């Protein structure tokens, strides 16, 4: 881009061609107040709070939409500008009922901050003349129309980011109201509870129910981490106070999700009602009794060391960190030579010969073929990326014999027997992409591999499945031949009933778990594991991106992080001591995590 010389507040500034006045000023450290503007959304210049004075222009102009030109001279706080902003703010305050002292967002509200900034100590125009409704029908958040300023941030976020198009405005003028679908309650609408509207709302109009009135944002701690609910690896901000987690937000600068989250990652991850395991347990006379860590690990090590490799088994969840999976590989596969190793969740194939794509490729694709997975239900953020591409004009072809949540957005919904027809759409595209999951059939996958120009995006089930596959932890297991079985079930709740039913009565079972389950009931030794909020380490997402996770609170009870338990067990078995790396570079550069493993194709 060409550079332009402009002047802001008598300060010489170098701008880039195509930038707006607001972008240029922000880059130079000059603050221009805004209300309807949000960096993640397309600007619309609706609120007029960002008005600036530009030499040669007859009227004040909105900084968020006005492009810079060579030699432009701008004043951002002239008397004329300040007067106009105060007038705009007085009108905004007069439209609804802003009882700041009773609002959950008081102290964190952008509108309130602007009122203080420009000295609004009384109302120039009548207010509090009409009651507006409150929609508290949704499970996780409420909409208070009394505090809505009609900035349309939530409408644009629902459309541009979540690509769900639930929110809009109805009626006109003073009667304008935010609405869900055809003016129904949010709980009855097409809302998917992704919560992105909460993150962009500048006032207390949209409020998280769980954390309401539990503390101002400036009084809380904010921990940047990674969501552990699926293999997408969304960047999150965990908001805590006094060792309690209040809420979860999306990180706007996260490389994978860019601020967007789903209901599972934002709300449901904080409401797990399964009973936690807080202390080590040892089975005695068909009862589990509390034990001490050292004695329990010593007993586990003795039982593991006493059996031959062909009678020792390892099962692991992919909810574990890279550090834990690496220790499992070092201890059981390399040190103990275990032959029975497998995962607690299925996997999607990753043949080395295919052009490996990433979730980011979906935004550049003009034709997306989806098969063997239903991301709307399993990986909602991935479905949002697909729906964004559809909004931009990309074709969506769903190849599925089962029901798919993407069917409503697809140009074509084909049976697996009609894969050849799907190939014709893909061949006509300039940048086709194939997204597939663990349910993809061998025949469909073989056919889709014929798309020469396509990139292939594997949507892995589980969480850290990519790393587990890279380490070769997906092999086979014969329950009948096992004398000792070590299971790292962690926070997983799927497949545990089936695994417990397959274990023979003679097998000695050690389970490393966070929650009680039929598998822990069957276990001879239970090692309490910290949940995702209580551990640090790293995760590798479905694209192979290694990202750092950070503990948001101390482990509860006597539970310990997954890797720490395995480190202690490794030392009991005479293995090498393990120290948690200071950063994720250790795993980002580890050859195993980027290596394609032929066993994935089994």
Q: What is the DSSP string of 433-479?
A: EEEE-TT--HHHHHHHTT-TT-EEEE--SSSSHHHHHHTT--SB--G
3-class state of residue 70 by DSSP: coil
Q: Percent of the chain at pLDDT above 70?
A: 95
Provide the pLDDT for residue 352: 79
For residue range 572-582, list pLDDT tens digits in order. 998 666 555 55
The pLDDT value recorded for residue 2 is: 83
**Residue 592: pLDDT over 50:** no
Question: How many helical (H) and strand (E) elements, i.e. helices and strands, does the chain have?
Answer: 18, 27
Secondary structure E strands in 55-107: 61-62, 73-75
What mean pLDDT comes out for the span 145-155?
96
Per-residue pLDDT tens for 332-380? 999 999 999 999 999 999 887 889 999 999 999 999 999 999 999 999 9
Q: What percent of the chain has pLDDT over 90?
A: 88
Whether pLDDT at 259 is above 90: yes
Give yes or no for residue 598 having a pLDDT over 70: no
Least confident among 48-52, 96-100, 187-191, 457-461 = 96-100
Tokens of 14: 């170098």
SS3 percent helix, strand, coil of the chain, rounded to 5, is: 30, 20, 45
What six digits make up the tokens of 126?
Answer: 């009548």
Are 492 and 514 in contact by the 8 Å Cβ rule? The answer is: no
Arithmetic mean of pLDDT over the chain: 93
What whole-number distance in Å separates Cα of residue 321 and Cα of residue 334? 19
What residues contact residue 120 under an 8 Å CB cut-off, 6+ apart? 86, 89, 90, 93
CA dist 115 and 112 (Å) reads 5
> How high is the pLDDT of residue 574?
84
Distance of CA 356 to the CA centre of its chain: 22
Question: CB–CB of 465/231 below 8 Å?
Answer: yes
Q: Pairing between strand 51-54 and 73-75?
A: antiparallel
* Residue the block writes with tokens 């030392």: 571
The tokens for 202 are 């500048």
Tokens of 533: 């909020």
Q: Report the Cα 236 to chain-centroid distance in Å.
A: 6
What is the mean pLDDT of the segment spanning 557-572?
A: 96
> Does the pLDDT value for residue 597 go beyond 70?
no
What is the tens place of the pLDDT at every residue in 55-82? 999 999 999 999 999 999 999 999 999 9
Q: What's the Cα-to-Cα distance from 225 to each of 236, 252, 253, 375, 537, rounded to whole Å?
A: 5, 12, 12, 22, 10
pLDDT at 280 over 60: yes
Q: For each of the domains in the chain, give its residue range(s) and CATH number, in order of start.
A: 3-77 (3.10.20.740), 128-270 (3.30.70.20), 281-346+465-601 (3.40.50.740), 359-458 (3.40.228.10)
| Mean of pLDDT values over 569-574 | 92
Whole-number Å distance between alpha carbons of 243 and 252: 24
Q: Give me the pLDDT at residue 576, please.
A: 64
The dihedral region occupied by 474, where left means phi > 0, alpha psi between -120 and 50, and beta the remainder, is: beta
> pLDDT tens for residues 494-542?
899 999 999 999 999 999 999 999 999 999 999 999 999 999 999 999 9
Tens digit of each residue's pLDDT (9 = 90 or more) over 407-426: 999 999 999 999 999 999 99
Residue 127: its pLDDT value, please?
83
Q: CA 205 to CA 144: how far, in whole Å?
A: 5
- Strands annotated E in 105-234: 134-135, 141-144, 167-170, 177-180, 206-208, 221-226
Is 191 a residue whose pLDDT tops 50? yes
Q: What is the pLDDT of residues 119-149, one digit of tens each?
A: 998 888 888 888 999 999 999 999 999 999 9
Q: Which tens digit of pLDDT belongs to each residue from 231-246?
A: 999 999 999 999 899 9
pLDDT at 304 over 90: yes
Burial of 346 (0-12, 13-18, 19+ CB in 10 A): middle
Residues 268-281 have a mean pLDDT of 96
């Amino acid at each position: 881009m060409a550079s332009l010389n402009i002047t802001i507040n008598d300060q010489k500034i170098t701008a880039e061609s195509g930038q707006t006045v607001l972008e240029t000023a922000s880059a130079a450290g000059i603050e221009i107040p805004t209300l309807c503007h949000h960096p993640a959304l397309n600007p619309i210049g609706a609120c007029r709070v960002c008005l600036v004075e530009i030499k040669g222009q007859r009227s004040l102009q909105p900084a968020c939409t006005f492009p810079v030109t060579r030699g432009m001279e701008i004043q951002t706080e002239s008397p004329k500008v300040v007067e106009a902003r105060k007038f705009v703010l007085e009108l905004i305050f007069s439209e609804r009922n802003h009882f700041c002292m009773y609002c959950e967002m008081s102290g964190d509200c952008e509108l309130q901050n602007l009122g203080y900034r420009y000295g609004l100590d009384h109302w120039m125009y009548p207010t509090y003349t009409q009651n507006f409704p409150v929609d508290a029908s949704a499970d996780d958040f409420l909409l208070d129309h009394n505090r809505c300023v009609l900035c349309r941030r939530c409408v644009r976020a629902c459309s541009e980011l979540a690509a769900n198009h639930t929110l809009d405005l109805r009626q006109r003028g003073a009667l304008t109201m935010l609405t869900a679908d055809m003016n129904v309650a949010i709980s009855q609408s097409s809302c998917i509870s992704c919560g992105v509207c909460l993150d962009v709302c500048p006032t207390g109009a949209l409020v998280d129910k769980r954390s309401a009135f539990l503390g101002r944002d400036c009084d809380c701690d904010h921990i940047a981490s990674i969501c552990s609910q699926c293999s997408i690896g969304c960047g999150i901000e965990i908001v805590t106070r006094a060792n309690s987690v209040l809420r979860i937000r999306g990180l706007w600068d996260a490389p994978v999700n860019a601020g967007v989250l789903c209901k599972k990652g934002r709300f449901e991850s904080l409401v797990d009602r399964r009973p936690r395991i807080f202390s080590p347990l040892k089975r005695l006379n068909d009862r589990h009794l509390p034990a001490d860590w050292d004695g329990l690990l010593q007993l586990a090590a003795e039982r593991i060391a006493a059996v031959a490799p062909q009678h020792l088994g390892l099962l692991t969840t992919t909810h574990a960190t890279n550090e834990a999976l690496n220790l499992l590989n070092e201890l059981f596969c390399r040190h103990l030579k275990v032959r029975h190793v497998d995962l607690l969740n299925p996997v999607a194939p990753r043949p080395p010969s295919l052009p490996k794509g990433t979730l980011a490729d979906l935004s550049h694709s003009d034709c997306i073929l989806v098969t063997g997975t239903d991301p709307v239900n399993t990986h909602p953020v991935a479905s949002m990326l697909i729906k964004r591409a559809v909004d931009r004009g990309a074709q969506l072809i769903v190849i599925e014999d089962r029901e798919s949540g993407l069917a409503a957005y697809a140009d074509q919904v084909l049976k697996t027997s009609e894969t050849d027809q799907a190939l014709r759409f893909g061949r006509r595209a300039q940048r086709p992409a194939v997204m597939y999951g663990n349910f993809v059939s061998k025949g469909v996958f073989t056919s889709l591999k014929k798309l020469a120009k396509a990139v292939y995006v594997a949507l892995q089930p589980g969480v850290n499945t990519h790393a587990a596959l890279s380490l070769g932890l997906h092999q086979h297991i014969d329950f009948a031949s096992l004398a000792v079985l070590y299971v790292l079930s962690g926070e997983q709740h799927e497949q545990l009933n089936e695994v417990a039913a397959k274990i023979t009565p003679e097998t000695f079972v050690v389970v490393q778990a966070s929650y009680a389950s039929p598998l822990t009931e069957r276990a001879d030794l239970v090692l309490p594991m910290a949940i995702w909020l209580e551990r640090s380490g790293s995760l590798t997402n479905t694209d192979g991106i290694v990202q750092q996770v950070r503990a948001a609170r101390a482990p509860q009870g006597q539970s310990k992080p997954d890797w720490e338990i395995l480190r202690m067990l490794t030392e009991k078995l005479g293995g090498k001591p393990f120290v948690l790396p200071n950063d994720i570079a250790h795993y980002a550069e580890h050859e195993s995590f980027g290596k394609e493993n032929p066993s994935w194709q089994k």
